[in-house]
Amino acid sequence: METLQAALANAHGLWRYVVLITAGLAIGKSLIGWLERREWQVVDERIAVYFIMAVDIGVTLGVLVWLLETRWNGTDVLRSWRHPATMLVAAGAVHVGWIRAKAAPTATGRFARCTLFFAIAGVIILAGVLQIQGTF
């Protein structure tokens, strides 16, 4: 159990890079699509879905680590509550954004909604990562 816990915590920590890279790609691609009024293409769909999946996998690993470490008993407020809450808000923004984007009547509207919601989520995720790694 100890080893599984350590392995999951390690994987969860390393997964931050996948989340941050896919966030950058998804935000950049939707911003370009929005500004240049491009058609919505399969590649746009894929990049957005990869970002959403990366966030969901990060959240799943985080929840597993949180449960295995019985964090609700912990005294470390950052790791027990603030970090999980921050990341769940970001995951919420990603999913609401995707639902809103899918409902947009035009490709430009879809790019605009993706840019807005993914950027909000990206900033929250970046702040959450910098905070938990002790940068600020």
- The alpha carbon dihedral of 12, 18, 21, 24 has a sign of negative
Quick check: 26 binds ligand HEM (CB under 6 A)? no
Cα–Cα distance, 130 to 123 (Å, whole number): 10
Min CB(120)–ligand HEM separation in Å: 14
Q: Are 19 and 58 in contact (CB under 8 A)?
A: yes
Tokens representing 74 are 């912990």
Interface map 84-123 toward ligand HEM (x if CB under 6 A): x--xx-----------------------------------
Positions that interact with ligand HEM (CB under 6 A): 9, 12-13, 16, 19, 55, 58-59, 62-63, 65-66, 69, 71, 79, 83-84, 87-88, 125, 129, 132-133
